[in-house]
Structure 1
Amino acid sequence: MLRTADTENGKVRGLPAADPRITAFKGIPFAAPPVGENRWRAPQPAENWQGVRDCFEFAPISVQDIPGIGDDIYCREWHVDPEIPMSEDCLYLNVWTNAKSAHERKPVLVWFFGGAFQWGYTAEMEFDGERLARRGIVVVTVNYRLGALGFLCHPQLTREQPDAPCNFGCLDQQAGLRWVRRNIAGFGGDPDNITIAGQSAGGGSVMAQMACRDNEGDFRRAVIMSGVFGSPYEPNDFFRPQSLEQAGKKGERLFEYLGVNTLKEARKLEADHIRSKYSELRSRGEMFFTIVEDGRFCTQDPMAAFRNGARIRVPVMGGNTGDEFMEFIQAADDKELVNKAKGYFGSRAEEFLSFPEAKVRTAQGYAPVSAPELGVKDIFLGENRQNKPENCYYYRFIPDIPGDDAPGTFHSADLWFFFETLSKCTRPFEGRHYDLARQMCDYWANFIKTGDPNGFDINGKKLPQWKPYTDNERSEMLFTSEGAISSAEQNSLVRFLLGKVK
């Protein structure tokens, strides 16, 4: 087994994973610590070391609210350890490989975690790369800066470092990806066969990296899980970039709240003090959670870049869970619904109201639709309008999720399945769930290898056919309690609303 590997900064040593055929390298530095004068700067090169560096444990997580304190579903599910090490020195990545030598050129997955750009870390138990590595994938999980330390924008930064004034968390991801390009051959990976993937804010990050033309040639395909949002009712600005001016005003308010006037003063503050004060300010609505159109890393809305063909055009897999981020028409009764529909759809209001789904009423409102589903399908149709469109594969995750909290297919529930890490979860999963997870991980591995999820599962059985989602053939892959089921789009309201996404 390949237990040591060469990197540009020195040799690293990994440990056997639970499966000794896999080697896990944890806590490899891909950039210099972003501390002191490097705070709120683009990531700088890592320093060299002598001898062999033991990479046996995850590095500290990015500065964020202490995990595992609350009783929300995410603290119960995987943010379980309030004593997990945390540090501003956080630019490290992890590698899982089943290569026996550095000459095997296996396909590579580069993973960006989610958490609204406020929370999350590569050490989350569901991100264990071992099951994918068993399928011949070299898995890399990349850490990045979060919250005010990762996404601050301020006029002083814009003046003093115009080449990299903001979007530091995204620049960390980019630096990690480029490190992989330069170094992954030493771990048996193919630097010319990389897939970038992420969920939630990680999916939004994949969108941002695809929209950055500087990344041309750095990856061959992409996976966007619950990371694109669209609404046919009120505009949904989640993950939509802000202007430098808008974001800079928030930065000025943060400096005021921190009691500093200059960037120099702010760089001298303790990271934990910034974390604490930012957490207070965020509770009042001052949240750094979107990328900024800085004219360098980000030049336009990534959704627009996808629709108009300006993104880095590679095959994409994307989708959502069934119960996450629903959009509604807020109306007190049927009469108000009619008036709201006229406001949203004008002359086509009567057509909208003719769909049975439009009359569905819940405690939150009328006509519920999934914002991630509309967002993903909208950009996929945009790609389909391009010359020689790349294949885009849509999925919806809708199995039963066990537990006495009856959670439904909540946001992030699919992560246990794609990584096939259900055994690390406390939920009472049964055989059907493990069968589904194996299928989902097989589809994912096939896509990472070739850009096409179709083929055979790990047991040599042919997987149900998964066709691309196009304007002429609205094909979906449904991940259900009975397994993967190929389907055609059934919701006629969704088809109508796709022309109205804002």
Structure 2
Amino acid sequence: MLRIANTENGQVRGLPAADPRVTTFKGIPFAAPPIGVNRWRAPQPAENWKGVRDCFEFAPISVQDTPGVGDDIYCREWHVDPEIPMSEDCLYLNVWTNAKSAYERKPVLVWFFGGGFQWGYTSEMEFDGERLARRAIVVVTVNYRLGALGFLCHPQLTIEQPNAPCNFGSLDQQAGLKWVRRNIANFGGDPDNITIAGQSAGGGSVMAQMACKENAGDFKRAVVMSGMFGSPYEVNEFFLPQSLEQAGKKGERLFDYLGVKTLEEARKLDANYIRNKYSELRNNGEMFFTIVQDGHFCTDDPMEAFRNGSRLRVPVMGGNTGDEFIEYIHAADDDELVKKAKKYFGSKADEFLAFPEAKVKTNLGYSPVSSPELGVKNAFLGESRQKDPKDCYYYRFIPDIPGNDSPGTFHSVDLWFFFETLAKCSRPFAGRHYDLARQMCDYWANFIKNGDPNGFDINGNMLPEWKPYTHADRNEMLFTSNGAQASTENNSFLMFLLDELK
């Protein structure tokens, strides 16, 4: 087995995974520590080392709120360890490979975790790459800076470093991807067959990387899980890029809150002090959470780039869970619903109100719809209008999820299934869940290998056919308690909303 590998900075030694046919390399530096003068700079080259570096443990997680101290579903689900090491020195990645030599050129997955660009880390237990590695895929998980340390924008930064004034967490991801291109052949991977993937903010990160022209040729396909959003009602600015001016004003307010005047002073502050003060400010609405249109890394809204075909056009797999990010019309009664419908749909308000779904009322509002489902399908329809459209495969994750909290298909729960890591979860999953996870991981592996999820499962059985989602053929793959089930969209209400999407 390949236990020692070369990198551009020196040799690294990995350990056998639970399956000794797989080797894991944890905590490989892909950039210099972003500390001191490197704080709020684009990632710099890592230093060389002599001898063989033992890569046996995950590196410290990015500076963020301490995990595992609350009782929310995510603290119960996987952010379980408040003692996990944390450091501003965090630019490391991890590799799982079942290669026996450095000459095998296996397909590669580069994974970006989610967490609202505020939380998350590569060592979360659901991100174990072993099951994919057993399917002959080299898995790489890349860490990146978060919160104010990863996404600060400030006028002084714009003046000092105009070519990289912000988006540092996104630049970390990009640096990790380019490190993979340069080094992954030494781990048995194929640098010309890379898939980038992520979920939630990680999915949004994939969208941003696809919109960045500097990444041309660095990946062949992409997976966006719960990372595209659209609303037929109010435009949600949370998901829109900000201008340098908008984001810079937030940076000025953060400096005032930190008690500093200059960038030099801010770079000398303790990272945990910045974290604590930023957390206070964030809880009052001042969040650094999205990419900024800086004219370099980000020149366009990634969703718009997908719709109009200006992104890096590669095949995409994307979808959502059934119960996440539901949008509503917030109206006190039927009369206000009519007024809101006229506001949102103008001359088509009566057509909207004629749908039974428009009159559905919950304790949160009228007319519930899935924002990520609309976002994914809207983007895929945009691709289908392009010349020589690339295949786009839509899924919806809707099985039963066990547990005393009756959680439904909550945001992120599908990660246990795609990575086939259910055995690490505390939920009482049954055989049907393991069968579904195996199918989902098989589809994912097939897509990573050749841009098409179809083919055989790990046991050699033909998977149910999954066709692309296009304007002419609204094909879906439903991941249910009874396994993968192909379907065709026939929801006229949803199709109306897609036509009217903002």
TM-score by structure 2 length? 1.00
Find the counterpart in structure 1 of residue 399 from structure 2. Answer: 399
| Alpha-carbon separation, structure 1, partners of 2:143 and 2:216 | 22
Post-superposition offset of 1:337 = 1.2
Find the counterpart in structure 2 of residue 224 from structure 1. Answer: 224
Q: Which runs of 5+ in 1 are unaligned?
A: none
Q: Is 2:446 aligned against 1:446? A: yes
| Alpha-carbon separation, structure 2, partners of 1:83 and 1:500 | 48
Find the counterpart in structure 2 of residue 367 from structure 1. Answer: 367
RMSD: 0.6
Find the counterpart in structure 1 of residue 35 from structure 2. Answer: 35
| Alpha-carbon separation, structure 1, partners of 2:236 and 2:373 | 13
Post-superposition offset of 1:376 = 0.6
Find the counterpart in structure 2 of residue 20 from structure 1. Answer: 20
SS across alignment from 1:447: helix
Post-superposition offset of 1:245 = 0.1
| Alpha-carbon separation, structure 2, partners of 1:178 and 1:430 | 40
| Alpha-carbon separation, structure 2, partners of 1:491 and 1:86 | 47
Q: Deviations over 1:262-315 (max 9, x none)?
A: 000000000000000000000100000010000000001001111111100000
Post-superposition offset of 1:238 = 2.8
| Alpha-carbon separation, structure 2, partners of 1:125 and 1:490 | 38
Q: Deviations over 1:438-477 (max 9, x none)?
A: 0000000000000000001001111111000000010000
Find the counterpart in structure 1 of residue 382 from structure 2. Answer: 382
Aligned 1:458-469 pairs, distance under 5 A: 458-469=458-469
- Whether the 8 Å CA contact 1:153–1:247 is kept in 2: the answer is yes
Matched letter for residue 380 of structure 2 = F
Find the counterpart in structure 2 of residue 235 from structure 1. Answer: 235
SS across alignment from 1:223: strand
| Alpha-carbon separation, structure 1, partners of 2:445 and 2:175 | 24
Find the counterpart in structure 2 of residue 172 from structure 1. Answer: 172
| Alpha-carbon separation, structure 2, partners of 1:361 and 1:490 | 22
| Alpha-carbon separation, structure 1, partners of 2:226 and 2:236 | 14
SS across alignment from 2:351: helix
| Alpha-carbon separation, structure 1, partners of 2:301 and 2:322 | 26
Post-superposition offset of 1:355 = 1.3
Find the counterpart in structure 2 of residue 141 from structure 1. Answer: 141
- Whether the 8 Å CA contact 1:99–1:188 is kept in 2: the answer is yes
Find the counterpart in structure 1 of residue 327 from structure 2. Answer: 327
Matched letter for residue 271 of structure 2 = A
| Alpha-carbon separation, structure 2, partners of 1:238 and 1:498 | 20
Post-superposition offset of 1:335 = 1.9
Find the counterpart in structure 1 of residue 278 from structure 2. Answer: 278
Post-superposition offset of 1:423 = 0.2
Post-superposition offset of 1:185 = 0.2
* Runs of 4+ deviating beyond 6 Å: none
| Alpha-carbon separation, structure 2, partners of 1:63 and 1:468 | 40
Q: Is 2:498 aligned against 1:501? A: no
Q: Which runs of 5+ in 2 are unaligned?
A: none
Aligned 1:98-113 pairs, distance under 5 A: 98-113=98-113
Q: Is 2:82 aligned against 1:119? A: no
Post-superposition offset of 1:173 = 0.1
- Whether the 8 Å CA contact 1:239–1:291 is kept in 2: the answer is no
- Whether the 8 Å CA contact 1:239–1:289 is kept in 2: the answer is no
Matched letter for residue 205 of structure 2 = S
Aligned 1:233-312 pairs, distance under 5 A: 233-312=233-312
Matched letter for residue 232 of structure 1 = P
| Alpha-carbon separation, structure 1, partners of 2:185 and 2:291 | 31
Post-superposition offset of 1:500 = 1.9
| Alpha-carbon separation, structure 2, partners of 1:276 and 1:501 | 39
Post-superposition offset of 1:239 = 2.7
| Alpha-carbon separation, structure 1, partners of 2:408 and 2:479 | 14
Matched letter for residue 272 of structure 1 = N
- Whether the 8 Å CA contact 1:398–1:409 is kept in 2: the answer is yes
| Alpha-carbon separation, structure 2, partners of 1:285 and 1:501 | 27
| Alpha-carbon separation, structure 1, partners of 2:238 and 2:485 | 30
Find the counterpart in structure 1 of residue 192 from structure 2. Answer: 192
Q: Is 2:67 aligned against 1:67? A: yes
SS across alignment from 1:238: helix
| Alpha-carbon separation, structure 2, partners of 1:14 and 1:473 | 46
- Whether the 8 Å CA contact 1:378–1:498 is kept in 2: the answer is yes
| Alpha-carbon separation, structure 1, partners of 2:135 and 2:85 | 31
| Alpha-carbon separation, structure 2, partners of 1:88 and 1:239 | 26
- Whether the 8 Å CA contact 1:380–1:470 is kept in 2: the answer is yes
Post-superposition offset of 1:331 = 1.1
Post-superposition offset of 1:343 = 1.3
Matched letter for residue 488 of structure 1 = T
- Whether the 8 Å CA contact 1:260–1:266 is kept in 2: the answer is yes
Q: Is 2:138 aligned against 1:132? A: no
- Whether the 8 Å CA contact 1:109–1:196 is kept in 2: the answer is yes
Post-superposition offset of 1:237 = 2.2
- Whether the 8 Å CA contact 1:359–1:367 is kept in 2: the answer is yes
Matched letter for residue 411 of structure 1 = H
Post-superposition offset of 1:499 = 1.6
Q: Deviations over 1:168-223 (max 9, x none)?
A: 00000000000000000000000000000000000000000000000000000000
| Alpha-carbon separation, structure 2, partners of 1:319 and 1:107 | 22
| Alpha-carbon separation, structure 1, partners of 2:111 and 2:128 | 11
| Alpha-carbon separation, structure 2, partners of 1:264 and 1:236 | 35
| Alpha-carbon separation, structure 1, partners of 2:374 and 2:452 | 22
| Alpha-carbon separation, structure 1, partners of 2:217 and 2:268 | 38
| Alpha-carbon separation, structure 2, partners of 1:335 and 1:43 | 55
Q: Deviations over 1:99-137 (max 9, x none)?
A: 000000000000000000000000000000000000000
Matched letter for residue 380 of structure 1 = F
Find the counterpart in structure 2 of residue 432 from structure 1. Answer: 432
| Alpha-carbon separation, structure 2, partners of 1:268 and 1:343 | 50
Find the counterpart in structure 1 of residue 8 from structure 2. Answer: 8
Matched letter for residue 144 of structure 1 = Y
Q: Deviations over 1:233-263 (max 9, x none)?
A: 0002233110000000000000000000000
Post-superposition offset of 1:492 = 1.8
Post-superposition offset of 1:414 = 0.2
